[in-house]
Amino acid sequence: MQALDTQTTIAVIGAGAMGSGIAQVAAQAGHRVYLHDQRDGAATAGRDGIAKQLQRRVDKGKMEQQAVDAIVSRIHPVNALSEVADSRMVIEAIIEDLEIKHSLLTDLEELCSKDTILATNTSSISVTALGAKLRHPERLVGMHFFNPAPLMALVEVVKGLATDNAIAEIVHATAANWGKKPVFATSTPGFIVNRVARPFYAESLRLLQEGAADPATLDAIIREAGNFRMGPFELTDLIGHDVNYAVTNSVFKAYYQDARFLPSLIQKELVEAGRLGRKSGQGFYSYTDGSERPAPDTEPARQSDDTTLIVEGDLGPASALINRFRDAGLEIVERDGPGQIRFGDAVLALTDGRMATERAQAEGTPDLTLFDLAFDFGKATRLALCFSDQASEKARHDAVALLQMTNIAVSAVKDRPGLVVMRTVATLANEAADAELHGVATKEDIDLAMKAGLNYPEGPLSWSDRLGNGRVLQVLTNIQNSYGEDRYRPALLLRKNHHAGKGFYK
Protein backbone atom coordinates (compact mmCIF):
# COMPACT_ATOMS: atom_id res chain seq x y z
CA MET A 1 0.00 0.00 0.00
CA GLN A 2 1.35 3.44 -0.92
CA ALA A 3 2.07 6.14 1.61
CA LEU A 4 0.30 9.48 1.56
CA ASP A 5 1.85 11.76 -1.03
CA THR A 6 3.82 14.68 0.43
CA GLN A 7 1.56 17.01 -1.55
CA THR A 8 -1.31 16.09 0.78
CA THR A 9 -2.07 18.10 3.90
CA ILE A 10 -1.76 16.66 7.40
CA ALA A 11 -3.53 18.16 10.41
CA VAL A 12 -2.45 17.73 14.02
CA ILE A 13 -4.88 18.54 16.82
CA GLY A 14 -3.14 19.41 20.07
CA ALA A 15 -0.05 21.61 20.16
CA GLY A 16 1.58 20.28 23.30
CA ALA A 17 4.97 18.57 23.27
CA MET A 18 3.64 15.48 21.51
CA GLY A 19 1.39 17.26 19.01
CA SER A 20 4.09 19.77 18.09
CA GLY A 21 6.58 16.95 17.69
CA ILE A 22 4.26 15.08 15.32
CA ALA A 23 3.69 18.27 13.33
CA GLN A 24 7.45 18.68 13.02
CA VAL A 25 7.86 15.09 11.79
CA ALA A 26 5.20 15.55 9.09
CA ALA A 27 6.59 18.92 8.01
CA GLN A 28 10.12 17.54 7.82
CA ALA A 29 8.78 14.86 5.47
CA GLY A 30 7.47 17.61 3.15
CA HIS A 31 3.79 17.86 4.08
CA ARG A 32 1.82 21.04 4.59
CA VAL A 33 0.68 20.79 8.22
CA TYR A 34 -2.22 22.44 10.02
CA LEU A 35 -1.60 22.72 13.78
CA HIS A 36 -4.65 23.39 15.95
CA ASP A 37 -5.19 23.72 19.68
CA GLN A 38 -8.25 24.97 21.52
CA ARG A 39 -6.07 27.08 23.82
CA ASP A 40 -5.57 30.60 22.48
CA GLY A 41 -2.11 31.05 21.04
CA ALA A 42 -1.01 27.47 21.74
CA ALA A 43 -0.70 26.46 18.09
CA THR A 44 1.46 29.50 17.27
CA ALA A 45 3.55 28.84 20.36
CA GLY A 46 3.93 25.22 19.25
CA ARG A 47 5.23 26.28 15.84
CA ASP A 48 7.57 28.83 17.43
CA GLY A 49 8.88 26.14 19.77
CA ILE A 50 9.66 23.91 16.79
CA ALA A 51 11.51 26.80 15.11
CA LYS A 52 13.51 27.51 18.25
CA GLN A 53 14.45 23.86 18.69
CA LEU A 54 15.56 23.50 15.07
CA GLN A 55 17.48 26.79 15.25
CA ARG A 56 19.64 25.29 17.97
CA ARG A 57 20.66 22.61 15.49
CA VAL A 58 21.62 25.32 13.01
CA ASP A 59 23.68 27.07 15.68
CA LYS A 60 25.53 23.82 16.32
CA GLY A 61 26.22 23.30 12.64
CA LYS A 62 23.99 20.22 12.45
CA MET A 63 21.40 21.69 10.10
CA GLU A 64 21.15 24.29 7.34
CA GLN A 65 19.12 27.44 7.93
CA GLN A 66 17.36 26.96 4.60
CA ALA A 67 16.09 23.54 5.69
CA VAL A 68 14.77 24.94 8.97
CA ASP A 69 12.98 27.80 7.22
CA ALA A 70 11.36 25.33 4.81
CA ILE A 71 10.09 23.09 7.63
CA VAL A 72 8.69 25.95 9.70
CA SER A 73 7.02 27.49 6.62
CA ARG A 74 5.01 24.30 6.14
CA ILE A 75 3.45 24.46 9.62
CA HIS A 76 0.30 26.60 9.72
CA PRO A 77 -1.34 27.35 13.07
CA VAL A 78 -5.14 27.48 12.69
CA ASN A 79 -7.64 28.87 15.16
CA ALA A 80 -10.81 27.03 14.18
CA LEU A 81 -11.22 23.27 13.92
CA SER A 82 -13.16 23.78 10.69
CA GLU A 83 -9.94 24.98 9.03
CA VAL A 84 -8.52 21.43 8.98
CA ALA A 85 -11.45 20.08 6.92
CA ASP A 86 -9.49 19.62 3.69
CA SER A 87 -6.71 17.53 5.34
CA ARG A 88 -5.96 14.07 3.99
CA MET A 89 -5.16 12.82 7.50
CA VAL A 90 -5.91 14.30 10.91
CA ILE A 91 -3.90 13.12 13.92
CA GLU A 92 -5.31 13.94 17.33
CA ALA A 93 -2.80 14.31 20.17
CA ILE A 94 -4.95 15.72 22.95
CA ILE A 95 -5.57 14.72 26.56
CA GLU A 96 -5.93 10.99 27.35
CA ASP A 97 -9.64 11.13 28.09
CA LEU A 98 -12.11 8.86 26.29
CA GLU A 99 -15.04 11.27 26.27
CA ILE A 100 -13.02 14.29 25.18
CA LYS A 101 -11.43 12.30 22.36
CA HIS A 102 -14.86 10.93 21.40
CA SER A 103 -16.19 14.46 21.09
CA LEU A 104 -13.27 15.63 18.96
CA LEU A 105 -13.34 12.62 16.62
CA THR A 106 -17.10 12.98 16.14
CA ASP A 107 -16.63 16.63 15.18
CA LEU A 108 -13.82 15.74 12.78
CA GLU A 109 -15.96 13.08 11.13
CA GLU A 110 -18.60 15.70 10.41
CA LEU A 111 -16.14 18.34 9.19
CA CYS A 112 -13.80 16.28 7.01
CA SER A 113 -14.43 14.42 3.80
CA LYS A 114 -15.23 10.72 3.81
CA ASP A 115 -11.71 10.01 2.49
CA THR A 116 -9.94 11.69 5.42
CA ILE A 117 -8.02 9.31 7.65
CA LEU A 118 -8.60 9.91 11.35
CA ALA A 119 -5.65 8.91 13.53
CA THR A 120 -5.34 8.92 17.30
CA ASN A 121 -2.06 9.19 19.15
CA THR A 122 -3.52 7.55 22.25
CA SER A 123 -1.11 5.53 24.34
CA SER A 124 -3.65 3.71 26.46
CA ILE A 125 -7.24 4.12 25.25
CA SER A 126 -8.81 1.41 23.09
CA VAL A 127 -8.99 2.39 19.42
CA THR A 128 -12.07 0.18 19.20
CA ALA A 129 -13.73 2.16 21.99
CA LEU A 130 -12.76 5.48 20.38
CA GLY A 131 -14.34 4.40 17.11
CA ALA A 132 -17.52 3.03 18.67
CA LYS A 133 -19.48 6.28 18.36
CA LEU A 134 -18.30 7.14 14.85
CA ARG A 135 -20.50 6.50 11.86
CA HIS A 136 -17.46 5.25 9.97
CA PRO A 137 -15.11 3.68 12.53
CA GLU A 138 -13.28 1.91 9.72
CA ARG A 139 -11.31 5.07 8.96
CA LEU A 140 -10.02 5.48 12.53
CA VAL A 141 -6.56 4.07 13.29
CA GLY A 142 -4.11 4.41 16.15
CA MET A 143 -0.85 6.18 15.35
CA HIS A 144 1.05 6.04 18.61
CA PHE A 145 4.25 8.08 18.56
CA PHE A 146 6.78 8.03 21.36
CA ASN A 147 8.12 11.13 23.07
CA PRO A 148 9.97 13.07 21.75
CA ALA A 149 8.32 12.31 18.42
CA PRO A 150 11.05 13.84 16.18
CA LEU A 151 13.72 11.64 17.80
CA MET A 152 11.99 8.38 18.71
CA ALA A 153 11.81 5.93 15.81
CA LEU A 154 8.83 3.80 16.79
CA VAL A 155 5.24 4.34 15.70
CA GLU A 156 2.63 1.77 16.77
CA VAL A 157 -0.06 1.55 14.08
CA VAL A 158 -3.02 0.24 16.04
CA LYS A 159 -6.00 -1.42 14.42
CA GLY A 160 -9.35 -1.28 16.19
CA LEU A 161 -11.99 -3.93 15.63
CA ALA A 162 -13.51 -1.92 12.77
CA THR A 163 -10.34 -0.37 11.30
CA ASP A 164 -10.01 -0.93 7.55
CA ASN A 165 -6.78 -2.85 6.91
CA ALA A 166 -6.11 -0.69 3.85
CA ILE A 167 -6.22 2.43 6.03
CA ALA A 168 -3.82 0.89 8.53
CA GLU A 169 -1.44 -0.05 5.73
CA ILE A 170 -1.47 3.51 4.34
CA VAL A 171 -0.64 4.88 7.79
CA HIS A 172 2.12 2.28 8.23
CA ALA A 173 3.65 3.17 4.86
CA THR A 174 3.34 6.89 5.62
CA ALA A 175 5.12 6.53 8.96
CA ALA A 176 7.91 4.64 7.20
CA ASN A 177 8.15 7.47 4.64
CA TRP A 178 8.53 9.87 7.55
CA GLY A 179 11.65 7.99 8.63
CA LYS A 180 9.96 6.05 11.42
CA LYS A 181 9.93 2.34 12.22
CA PRO A 182 6.24 1.46 12.25
CA VAL A 183 4.76 -1.74 13.66
CA PHE A 184 1.22 -3.11 13.51
CA ALA A 185 -0.65 -3.83 16.74
CA THR A 186 -4.20 -4.75 17.62
CA SER A 187 -6.18 -2.60 20.00
CA THR A 188 -5.47 -4.37 23.27
CA PRO A 189 -4.51 -2.73 26.58
CA GLY A 190 -1.03 -1.24 26.38
CA PHE A 191 -0.69 -2.18 22.69
CA ILE A 192 2.85 -3.63 22.36
CA VAL A 193 5.32 -1.48 24.28
CA ASN A 194 3.27 -0.43 27.30
CA ARG A 195 2.22 -4.04 27.82
CA VAL A 196 5.43 -5.95 27.15
CA ALA A 197 7.61 -3.45 29.05
CA ARG A 198 5.80 -3.77 32.39
CA PRO A 199 8.20 -6.42 33.80
CA PHE A 200 11.22 -4.19 33.14
CA TYR A 201 9.99 -1.89 35.89
CA ALA A 202 8.03 -4.36 37.96
CA GLU A 203 10.77 -6.91 38.66
CA SER A 204 13.36 -4.40 39.83
CA LEU A 205 10.73 -2.67 41.95
CA ARG A 206 9.95 -6.01 43.55
CA LEU A 207 13.63 -6.79 44.09
CA LEU A 208 13.97 -3.41 45.78
CA GLN A 209 10.97 -4.13 47.99
CA GLU A 210 12.52 -7.49 48.92
CA GLY A 211 15.79 -5.81 49.90
CA ALA A 212 17.86 -7.50 47.18
CA ALA A 213 19.83 -4.32 46.47
CA ASP A 214 19.43 -0.54 46.33
CA PRO A 215 18.25 1.37 43.23
CA ALA A 216 21.73 2.50 42.15
CA THR A 217 23.04 -1.06 42.26
CA LEU A 218 20.07 -2.56 40.42
CA ASP A 219 20.30 0.16 37.76
CA ALA A 220 24.02 -0.49 37.30
CA ILE A 221 23.46 -4.24 36.91
CA ILE A 222 20.74 -3.71 34.31
CA ARG A 223 22.95 -1.27 32.36
CA GLU A 224 26.38 -2.84 32.67
CA ALA A 225 25.41 -6.51 32.52
CA GLY A 226 22.10 -6.33 30.64
CA ASN A 227 23.28 -3.63 28.21
CA PHE A 228 20.05 -1.68 28.58
CA ARG A 229 20.39 2.05 27.92
CA MET A 230 18.98 2.97 31.34
CA GLY A 231 18.11 1.13 34.51
CA PRO A 232 14.47 0.96 35.63
CA PHE A 233 14.80 3.44 38.48
CA GLU A 234 16.53 6.17 36.52
CA LEU A 235 14.10 5.55 33.66
CA THR A 236 10.98 5.86 35.82
CA ASP A 237 12.47 9.02 37.35
CA LEU A 238 12.79 10.35 33.79
CA ILE A 239 9.31 9.26 32.68
CA GLY A 240 7.68 10.51 35.87
CA HIS A 241 6.31 8.18 38.52
CA ASP A 242 2.81 9.58 38.18
CA VAL A 243 2.83 8.66 34.48
CA ASN A 244 4.50 5.26 34.85
CA TYR A 245 2.34 4.27 37.83
CA ALA A 246 -0.83 5.37 36.00
CA VAL A 247 0.05 3.25 32.97
CA THR A 248 0.74 0.23 35.19
CA ASN A 249 -2.59 0.69 36.96
CA SER A 250 -4.38 1.11 33.64
CA VAL A 251 -2.93 -2.12 32.24
CA PHE A 252 -3.57 -3.96 35.53
CA LYS A 253 -7.21 -2.86 35.53
CA ALA A 254 -7.67 -3.56 31.82
CA TYR A 255 -6.46 -7.14 32.27
CA TYR A 256 -8.86 -7.72 35.18
CA GLN A 257 -6.17 -7.57 37.88
CA ASP A 258 -3.86 -10.12 36.27
CA ALA A 259 -1.00 -10.63 38.76
CA ARG A 260 1.59 -10.14 36.00
CA PHE A 261 0.77 -6.42 35.97
CA LEU A 262 0.50 -5.83 39.73
CA PRO A 263 1.51 -2.22 40.57
CA SER A 264 4.27 -1.53 43.10
CA LEU A 265 3.58 -0.22 46.59
CA ILE A 266 6.96 1.53 46.53
CA GLN A 267 6.01 3.49 43.42
CA LYS A 268 2.59 4.24 44.89
CA GLU A 269 4.28 5.83 47.91
CA LEU A 270 6.53 7.94 45.70
CA VAL A 271 3.49 9.27 43.83
CA GLU A 272 1.61 9.99 47.04
CA ALA A 273 4.65 11.83 48.40
CA GLY A 274 4.94 13.92 45.26
CA ARG A 275 8.35 12.43 44.48
CA LEU A 276 7.69 12.12 40.78
CA GLY A 277 11.29 12.02 39.56
CA ARG A 278 13.22 14.59 37.57
CA LYS A 279 10.27 16.94 37.11
CA SER A 280 9.73 17.27 40.88
CA GLY A 281 13.43 17.20 41.83
CA GLN A 282 13.16 13.92 43.72
CA GLY A 283 12.29 10.36 42.84
CA PHE A 284 14.49 7.38 43.55
CA TYR A 285 17.32 9.86 43.13
CA SER A 286 17.68 13.55 43.97
CA TYR A 287 17.88 16.08 41.13
CA THR A 288 18.50 19.21 43.16
CA ASP A 289 21.53 21.34 42.37
CA GLY A 290 24.73 19.73 43.60
CA SER A 291 23.20 16.32 44.24
CA GLU A 292 25.13 13.29 43.07
CA ARG A 293 23.86 9.86 42.03
CA PRO A 294 24.76 7.22 44.66
CA ALA A 295 27.42 4.76 43.54
CA PRO A 296 26.38 1.13 43.07
CA ASP A 297 27.48 -1.40 45.65
CA THR A 298 30.63 -3.03 44.32
CA GLU A 299 32.66 -5.72 46.05
CA PRO A 300 36.13 -4.59 47.18
CA ALA A 301 39.15 -6.07 45.40
CA ARG A 302 39.90 -9.68 46.30
CA GLN A 303 43.01 -11.71 45.53
CA SER A 304 43.52 -15.43 44.98
CA ASP A 305 46.64 -17.56 44.52
CA ASP A 306 44.71 -20.23 42.62
CA THR A 307 45.71 -20.55 38.96
CA THR A 308 43.49 -23.41 37.79
CA LEU A 309 39.85 -23.12 36.75
CA ILE A 310 37.70 -26.20 36.23
CA VAL A 311 34.80 -25.94 33.80
CA GLU A 312 32.31 -28.76 34.24
CA GLY A 313 30.01 -29.15 31.24
CA ASP A 314 28.41 -26.56 28.98
CA LEU A 315 28.07 -23.06 30.42
CA GLY A 316 25.46 -22.15 27.80
CA PRO A 317 25.10 -18.38 27.37
CA ALA A 318 28.02 -17.84 29.77
CA SER A 319 30.53 -19.79 27.65
CA ALA A 320 32.26 -16.57 26.59
CA LEU A 321 33.56 -16.26 30.14
CA ILE A 322 36.00 -19.10 29.48
CA ASN A 323 38.08 -16.99 27.09
CA ARG A 324 38.10 -14.14 29.60
CA PHE A 325 39.42 -16.49 32.27
CA ARG A 326 42.02 -17.80 29.85
CA ASP A 327 43.10 -14.26 28.96
CA ALA A 328 43.47 -13.57 32.68
CA GLY A 329 46.19 -16.24 32.79
CA LEU A 330 44.24 -19.09 34.35
CA GLU A 331 44.79 -22.69 33.34
CA ILE A 332 41.45 -24.05 32.08
CA VAL A 333 40.53 -27.68 32.72
CA GLU A 334 37.34 -28.78 30.96
CA ARG A 335 35.44 -31.92 31.92
CA ASP A 336 31.90 -33.29 31.93
CA GLY A 337 29.47 -31.93 34.43
CA PRO A 338 26.26 -29.99 35.08
CA GLY A 339 27.42 -26.66 33.64
CA GLN A 340 29.33 -24.99 36.43
CA ILE A 341 32.75 -23.56 37.33
CA ARG A 342 35.07 -24.56 40.17
CA PHE A 343 37.70 -22.15 41.42
CA GLY A 344 39.34 -22.55 44.78
CA ASP A 345 36.54 -23.35 47.20
CA ALA A 346 33.89 -21.72 45.02
CA VAL A 347 31.38 -23.38 42.73
CA LEU A 348 29.76 -20.92 40.31
CA ALA A 349 26.78 -21.43 37.98
CA LEU A 350 24.46 -19.30 35.89
CA THR A 351 21.13 -18.76 37.63
CA ASP A 352 18.31 -21.08 36.56
CA GLY A 353 15.66 -19.15 38.50
CA ARG A 354 16.10 -20.93 41.82
CA MET A 355 17.57 -19.29 44.90
CA ALA A 356 21.19 -20.21 45.48
CA THR A 357 20.34 -21.60 48.92
CA GLU A 358 17.63 -23.85 47.48
CA ARG A 359 19.81 -25.05 44.62
CA ALA A 360 22.82 -25.68 46.88
CA GLN A 361 20.71 -27.95 49.07
CA ALA A 362 19.09 -29.76 46.11
CA GLU A 363 22.38 -30.39 44.31
CA GLY A 364 24.52 -31.05 47.37
CA THR A 365 26.82 -28.11 46.56
CA PRO A 366 27.04 -26.00 49.71
CA ASP A 367 29.65 -23.55 48.41
CA LEU A 368 27.44 -22.44 45.52
CA THR A 369 27.50 -18.96 44.03
CA LEU A 370 25.04 -18.04 41.30
CA PHE A 371 25.87 -15.39 38.75
CA ASP A 372 23.42 -13.34 36.72
CA LEU A 373 22.77 -13.20 32.98
CA ALA A 374 24.72 -10.76 30.82
CA PHE A 375 23.79 -9.57 27.35
CA ASP A 376 27.34 -10.37 26.22
CA PHE A 377 29.50 -12.26 28.71
CA GLY A 378 32.54 -11.47 26.59
CA LYS A 379 32.13 -7.72 27.14
CA ALA A 380 30.11 -7.28 30.34
CA THR A 381 31.68 -4.86 32.82
CA ARG A 382 29.56 -5.85 35.82
CA LEU A 383 27.85 -9.01 37.05
CA ALA A 384 25.54 -9.68 39.95
CA LEU A 385 26.26 -12.60 42.27
CA CYS A 386 24.31 -14.18 45.07
CA PHE A 387 25.63 -16.72 47.56
CA SER A 388 23.92 -19.69 49.14
CA ASP A 389 23.47 -19.41 52.89
CA GLN A 390 25.61 -22.54 53.18
CA ALA A 391 28.63 -21.06 51.35
CA SER A 392 31.80 -20.53 53.34
CA GLU A 393 33.55 -17.18 53.51
CA LYS A 394 36.45 -18.66 51.53
CA ALA A 395 34.08 -19.79 48.76
CA ARG A 396 32.51 -16.32 48.61
CA HIS A 397 35.93 -14.71 48.48
CA ASP A 398 37.09 -16.99 45.67
CA ALA A 399 33.96 -16.41 43.59
CA VAL A 400 34.37 -12.63 43.70
CA ALA A 401 38.13 -12.83 43.08
CA LEU A 402 37.59 -15.00 40.00
CA LEU A 403 35.32 -12.52 38.24
CA GLN A 404 37.47 -9.57 39.27
CA MET A 405 40.42 -11.19 37.48
CA THR A 406 38.58 -10.48 34.22
CA ASN A 407 37.95 -6.81 35.12
CA ILE A 408 34.32 -7.46 35.91
CA ALA A 409 32.90 -5.33 38.70
CA VAL A 410 30.96 -7.55 41.09
CA SER A 411 27.75 -6.57 42.84
CA ALA A 412 26.67 -9.07 45.48
CA VAL A 413 22.89 -9.02 45.89
CA LYS A 414 20.67 -10.87 48.33
CA ASP A 415 19.70 -14.42 47.38
CA ARG A 416 16.52 -13.94 45.37
CA PRO A 417 15.01 -16.11 42.59
CA GLY A 418 16.40 -15.36 39.13
CA LEU A 419 18.76 -12.59 40.25
CA VAL A 420 18.31 -9.34 38.27
CA VAL A 421 18.99 -9.42 34.52
CA MET A 422 17.89 -13.04 34.03
CA ARG A 423 14.67 -12.41 35.89
CA THR A 424 13.99 -9.24 33.90
CA VAL A 425 14.72 -10.79 30.50
CA ALA A 426 12.72 -13.94 31.27
CA THR A 427 9.62 -11.98 32.30
CA LEU A 428 9.94 -9.65 29.30
CA ALA A 429 10.17 -12.66 26.96
CA ASN A 430 7.20 -14.24 28.72
CA GLU A 431 5.02 -11.18 28.21
CA ALA A 432 6.17 -10.88 24.59
CA ALA A 433 5.34 -14.54 23.99
CA ASP A 434 1.87 -14.03 25.41
CA ALA A 435 1.36 -10.97 23.21
CA GLU A 436 2.29 -12.97 20.12
CA LEU A 437 0.05 -15.86 21.12
CA HIS A 438 -2.92 -13.51 21.52
CA GLY A 439 -2.35 -11.88 18.14
CA VAL A 440 -1.35 -8.46 19.49
CA ALA A 441 1.49 -8.32 16.95
CA THR A 442 3.91 -10.53 15.09
CA LYS A 443 7.11 -11.64 16.77
CA GLU A 444 9.09 -9.42 14.41
CA ASP A 445 7.03 -6.35 15.24
CA ILE A 446 7.14 -7.07 18.98
CA ASP A 447 10.93 -7.27 18.96
CA LEU A 448 11.24 -4.20 16.73
CA ALA A 449 8.89 -2.22 18.97
CA MET A 450 10.94 -2.94 22.09
CA LYS A 451 14.19 -1.98 20.37
CA ALA A 452 12.94 1.11 18.52
CA GLY A 453 10.56 2.32 21.23
CA LEU A 454 12.63 1.67 24.34
CA ASN A 455 16.17 1.14 23.02
CA TYR A 456 16.37 -2.44 24.30
CA PRO A 457 19.64 -4.09 23.25
CA GLU A 458 17.71 -6.96 21.67
CA GLY A 459 14.08 -7.93 21.20
CA PRO A 460 12.91 -10.18 24.06
CA LEU A 461 11.85 -13.04 21.76
CA SER A 462 15.12 -12.99 19.85
CA TRP A 463 16.99 -12.85 23.17
CA SER A 464 15.01 -15.83 24.43
CA ASP A 465 16.07 -17.81 21.36
CA ARG A 466 19.70 -16.86 21.91
CA LEU A 467 19.60 -18.19 25.47
CA GLY A 468 18.73 -21.64 24.16
CA ASN A 469 15.64 -23.75 23.92
CA GLY A 470 13.75 -24.04 27.19
CA ARG A 471 16.00 -21.79 29.32
CA VAL A 472 13.47 -19.00 29.79
CA LEU A 473 10.76 -21.59 30.50
CA GLN A 474 13.01 -23.24 33.10
CA VAL A 475 13.81 -19.90 34.77
CA LEU A 476 10.16 -18.85 34.94
CA THR A 477 9.04 -22.24 36.23
CA ASN A 478 11.61 -22.09 39.01
CA ILE A 479 10.73 -18.51 39.94
CA GLN A 480 7.04 -19.41 40.01
CA ASN A 481 7.79 -22.40 42.24
CA SER A 482 9.76 -20.17 44.61
CA TYR A 483 6.99 -17.61 44.99
CA GLY A 484 3.98 -19.84 44.43
CA GLU A 485 2.40 -17.02 42.44
CA ASP A 486 0.55 -16.87 39.13
CA ARG A 487 2.58 -13.76 38.27
CA TYR A 488 5.39 -15.89 36.84
CA ARG A 489 3.32 -18.50 35.00
CA PRO A 490 5.09 -19.35 31.73
CA ALA A 491 3.25 -18.38 28.55
CA LEU A 492 1.63 -21.20 26.62
CA LEU A 493 3.74 -20.41 23.54
CA LEU A 494 6.95 -20.83 25.56
CA ARG A 495 5.80 -24.28 26.64
CA LYS A 496 4.73 -25.24 23.13
CA ASN A 497 8.01 -24.14 21.57
CA HIS A 498 9.97 -26.03 24.20
CA HIS A 499 8.13 -29.28 23.53
CA ALA A 500 8.58 -28.74 19.78
CA GLY A 501 12.30 -28.18 20.31
CA LYS A 502 12.25 -24.80 18.60
CA GLY A 503 12.49 -21.11 19.32
CA PHE A 504 10.43 -18.18 18.11
CA TYR A 505 12.49 -17.71 14.98
CA LYS A 506 14.05 -21.12 14.37
Q: Active-site residue numbers?
A: 123, 144, 156, 194
Q: What phi and psi values does residue 315 have, to the nearest 5 degrees?
A: -85, 0
End-to-end CA distance of the chain: 29
Quick one: CA dihedral 438, 440, 443, 446, positive or negative?
negative
Q: How many CB atoms lie within 10 A of CB 166?
A: 11
- Shortest CA distance to 3 belongs to which of 111, 88, 113, 73? 88
DSSP class of residue 456 equals -
Helices (H), 60-164: 65-73, 98-111, 127-131
Exposure letters 187-222 (e unless 16+ CB within 10 A, then b): bbbbbbbbbbbbbbbbbbbbbbeeebbbbbbbbbbb
Q: What is the C-alpha separation between 115 and 126, in angstroms, rounded?
A: 23
Q: How many CB atoms lie within 10 A of CB 315?
A: 18
How distant is the alpha carbon of residue 404 from its chain centre? Answer: 30
Q: What is the C-alpha separation between 351 and 417, in angstroms, rounded?
A: 8
